[in-house]
Amino acid sequence: MSNEKKRMTTASGAPVGDNQNMITAGERGPALIQDVHFLEKMAHFDRERVPERVVHAKGAGAHGVFEVTNDEISKYTKADFLNEKGKQTPMFIRFSTVAGELGSADTVRDPRGFAIKFYTQEGNYDMVGNNTPIFFVRDAIKFPDFIHTQKRNPKTNLKDKNAVWDFWSQSPESLHQVTYLHGDRGIPATFRHMNGYGSHTYKWVNKDGEPVWIKYHFIADQGVKGLDPDLADKLAGENPDYHTEDLYNAIDKGDYPSWTLYVQIMPYEDSKDYKWDPFDVTKTWSHKDYPLIEVGKMTLNRNPENYFAEVEQAALSPANFVPGIEASPDKMLQGRLFSYSDTQRYRIGVNHQQLPINRPINDANTSNYQFDGQMRYDNGSRSVSYEPNRYETEPKEDPDSKINPFEVYGQADSVAYSQKDHYTQPGDLYRLMSTDEKDRLVQNIVDHMSQVDYDDIKLRQIEHFYKADPELGERIAAGLELKVPENVK
């Protein structure tokens, strides 16, 4: 580093004469508008924040590398970054909670975001998942309502347990995720001690154009650990950034966390008659039917240098696919394909893909005919802003990268999923738990539901627990000291 003194300048490069005292009319006089350095400094400060994410506002990020460990996987997908054992791809991950604001506590009971950007040679591939293999609702049109129940009441600006359980009790498809969330995995010990899941079903397509359906499982090599709820409450007060700090410190001291990526692969035709609708994000696929197949390993080895630039401005979107990986008809996923880039154009700007954290390493930004817009600086000296055109050197579409064509059928309508069994899978989840786990699950649900003011909400929800497993319903009703009418059992 040079010892030469660095001169402070304004944003336009002019030297700053005084950064401690405003220019005033005399010692006590009012400030002068000609103090352009002060005006610029204050105006810039006034604009330091971008809006926080509407969900998943609190988070921590890290850089790392993904390495393919299984040669076989290229049989199923032509995705360039997965086509060879040993191939390494740089990646970035952001972990988050869902409901809290930017400064909220890390150790709350909430799903955790698990959002990865792979910087592949064929553009960025974003896998925007959670630490749960399922979700609360299965149609995107319900998502804003669901999130409103998790956020603050618009009148009181308080968290509203009545809203939470009113919504859940009237959306029985949420039962699986509600059960999962109140178990030990609902508050992870650290971000390093939780698995990540794509949750949705995605389509993989190989180089011969053959599709399969897949689900992603990132299994934590550190093991999965939960946090004791009492300790979590204590930490929320004492160190609201507990998980953020743990991740930063682990990477800082070279204790790099890693995850092994597996996929479940379902033959394309199985989707027609599998016992569960494979595009219903409230359901899992049996591991017996579709065992985990190893793909590779992700290792986090570098902390961000600048939180705002690399984490706050990161724009992760399920719409960022690469050839070989495509959407499934999952109605939640379909809604997400619109929502993320839409919010990012508002939250960060129409050219957010140009920021270093979002910029693809193959420089796709300069290989299309999207021009101008706020903060655009790389239109370069190109004069061709349209396509088709006569210029061989200008970007042309690549028919090999077209989507895998698929059949659609049926009448256009607002159609509900036909499968209404919301109970077997959460019941199985309960029955699989050890006695201790069951005790903790019941206690967590009782603690949470006891904050609800209305018995009709509690009874409606208890009915769902009964249907999942009568013992679970019985225990929760007893914990809430509620007499349950016979028709509810």
Residues lying near ligand HEM in the complex (CB under 6 A) are found at 53-56, 59, 94, 96, 113, 115, 128-130, 135, 140, 143, 199, 281, 314-316, 332, 335-336, 339-340, 343-344, 347
The helix (H) or strand (E) run that includes residue 245 is helix 242-252
Pairing of strands 112-120, 292-302: unpaired
The nearest distance, CB 434 to ligand HEM, in angstroms, is 27
Rg of the chain (C-alpha set): 26
* CA distance readout (Å), 44 to 18, 36, 39, 40, 48: 17, 12, 8, 6, 6
Query: Between 127 and 480, whose beta carbon lies closer to ligand HEM?
Result: 127
Q: Smallest gap, in angstroms, from Cβ of residue 137 to ligand HEM?
A: 8
Tell me which residue has tokens 């743990």.
246
Residue 409 contacts by C-beta under 8 Å, 6 or more apart in sequence? none
CB of 314 to ligand HEM, least distance (A): 6
Q: Closer CB to ligand HEM, residue 335 or residue 479?
A: 335
CA contacts within 13 A on the Cβ side of 346: 9
d(Cα 375, Cα 310) in Å, to the nearest integer?
A: 17
Question: Hey, is 478 helix, strand or coil?
Answer: helix
Of 55 and 227, CB closest to ligand HEM: 55
**For residues 214 and 449, which CB has a smaller minimum distance to ligand HEM in the complex?**
214
Q: Report the residue closest to ligand HEM, judged by CB.
A: 113
Q: Which residues form the catalytic set?
A: 56, 130
> In angstroms, rounded to a whole number, what is the distance separating the alpha carbons of residues 303 and 64?
9
Q: Which residues, listed in sequence order, are joined to residue 61 by a DSSP beta bridge?
A: 94
Smallest separation, CB 487 to ligand HEM (Å): 34
Nearer to ligand HEM, 94 or 297 (CB): 94
Task: Locate all alpha helices (DSSP H) within 182-327, ordered by sequence.
Answer: 229-238, 242-252, 307
- As measured in angstroms, the least distance from the Cβ of 211 to ligand HEM is 21
Q: In sequence order, what are the residues at sequence separation of 6 or more whose Cβ sits closer than 8 angstroms to the Cβ of residue 387? A: 369, 394, 395, 396, 397
> Sign of the C-alpha dihedral, residues 358, 364, 369, 371?
positive
- Residue length of the chain: 489
Q: Are 87 and 65 spatial neighbours (Cβ–Cβ below 8 Å)?
A: no
Q: Which is nearer to ligand HEM, 131 or 271 (CB)?
A: 131
Report the C-alpha gap between 429 and 183 in whole angstroms.
10
Residue 194 CB, shortest distance to ligand HEM, in Å, is 12
> Taking the complex as a whole, how short is the minimal distance between the CB of residue 486 and ligand HEM, in angstroms?
37
The sign one gets for the Cα dihedral 242, 244, 245, 249 is positive
Which lies closer to ligand HEM via its Cβ, residue 100 or residue 473? 100
